[in-house]
Amino acid sequence: MRRALRASVVAAARVGGLLLAACAGSCTTFNGASVPPPVTDAASDVVIDVAVDAAPDAGPAARSLLSMQDAARVCALAAKCPYLSPSLQASNAVPADPSNFSLCMHWLAGPFPPDRLGFGLQQQSVACMAKATTCEQAGACVSIEYLNPTDARCADAGAEAGTACADNGATVLSCAGLFAVHCTTGYYAPGTMCTKGASNLYGCALGANCTVTDMCVGSSVFDECGSTDDLHYRFNCDYEGYDCSEVPDGSLIGCLSGNEAYPCSTLDTSCSSDGVTAQVCDGYDYSLYDCASLGGTCSNKGGGGICATKNDKCTPFDANINMCSGSVVSLCVGGQPRTFDCSSIGMSCAGVAGSAHCG
């Protein structure tokens, strides 16, 4: 049901049940009149930009989203900014645990499945965050940004109580729902802007008065009209590791995982029933990480799901991980013991034993 939700809600923010976990009940939905998912766009002109994935996927060799230094910068921000981690997972289906620095580093600097769709787009998002110096700058790097109730953007008495356009049309801002949707991120087709549609609904769209037929443009782009408004949405499924396809019985078309939808409602990670795949919930569906492509299986030893191999010597949940020794923090990244000197990025090692991090 991502298709329906994303069409209308996407325009506003895409969080529904998952957002609730991040916003502790202070968020609403924007689907039609409440929840928030990212906006989609429908259009018929072909080349609707396969260029949306401006950063092409790498080859089959093992790769990482970020270097250790850049990953440490993002993980330090995740520990500092409570709404950043859920924003990244809801947008790109990439976890950045704010309370386990090593686990965050494992996802961002550890081996990434070589067959993961949208690697380039996901890498762009976290690379953007690595350059950020504030929570707001980092949140603008992804399509859905959850807002702190005290966010200055909503402190202005003139801010619309409901939803409105901001940043000269580049953002859909909902102070009532406490989320922002950034229309110029890689999730949306070029030319997408904050647009007001029927019933005063706002979305990141290509325009209003949509009449296109819901369809896939190639294997990555989904084109549609909103289900509760007249907005024209077009978005790149690769942004979250999905492809654009249709379930076998034809009852659903949109961003799926191999012609299947795997519904979920909480921002979490887990292992598939066969133990081959790590599943990351974006609040609507599970986005899949193929552990077999890394020569491993999925492990839920720490309670969540991560890819692991028989050659692993540690996990991010071990007792001697996330410990400070001066400015150096102990880590387990990709199943191997590592250390990182926080002073190399201008920080110190902070926090109590077991939950230490750069900060």
Tens digits of residue pLDDT in 256-280: 998 999 999 999 999 999 999 999 9
Identify the weakest region by mean pLDDT among 45-54, 187-196, 243-252, 259-268.
45-54
| Percent of the chain residues topping a pLDDT of 70 | 81
Identify the weakest region by mean pLDDT among 19-23, 161-165, 244-248.
19-23
Average pLDDT rounded to a whole number, residues 30-47: 27
| Percent of the chain residues topping a pLDDT of 90 | 74
Q: What is the mean pLDDT of the chain?
A: 84
Average pLDDT rounded to a whole number, residues 242-256: 94
What pLDDT does residue 39 have?
A: 29
Q: Which residues pair with 269 in a beta bridge?
A: 280
pLDDT band at 227 (very low <50, low <70, confident <90, very high): confident
Angle at 10 between CA 223 and CA 46, to 5 degrees: 15
Amino acid letter, residue 233: Y
User: Nearest-CA neighbor of 89 among 244, 284, 230, 309?
Assistant: 284
Give the pLDDT confidence of 75-115 residue by residue, as tens digits: 999 999 999 999 999 999 999 999 999 999 999 999 999 99
The three state secondary structure string of the chain is CHHHHHHHCCCCCCCHHHHHHHHCCCCCCCCCCCCCCCCCCCCCCCCCCHHHCCCCCCCCCCECCCCHHHHHHHHHHHHHCCCHHHHHHHHHCCCCCCCCHHHHHHHHHCCECCCCCCHHHHHHHHHHHHCCCCHHHHHCCCCEEECCCCCHHHCCCCCCCCEEEEHHHCEEEECCCCEEEECCCCCECCCCEEEECHHHCEEEECECCCCCCCEEECCCEEEEECCCCCCEEEEEHHHHCCEEEECCCCCCEEEECCCCCCECCCCCEEECCCCCEEEEECCCEEEEEEHHHHCCEEECCCCCCEEECCCCCCCCCCCCCCCEECCEEEEEECCEEEEEEHHHHCCCEECCCCCCEEC
Whether 31 shows a pLDDT value over 70: the answer reads no
What pLDDT does residue 352 have?
A: 92
Identify the weakest region by mean pLDDT among 13-27, 215-229, 248-262.
13-27
Identify the weakest region by mean pLDDT among 44-53, 121-130, 302-311, 349-358.
44-53
Q: What is the dihedral of CA 254, 273, 60, 76, to 10 degrees?
A: 90
Average pLDDT rounded to a whole number, residues 3-26: 35
What pLDDT does residue 156 have?
A: 65
Average pLDDT rounded to a whole number, residues 132-154: 95
- Phi, psi (5° rounding) for residue 199? 60, 25
Whether 143 shows a pLDDT value over 80: the answer reads yes
Whether 234 shows a pLDDT value over 50: the answer reads yes
pLDDT band at 321 (very low <50, low <70, confident <90, very high): very high
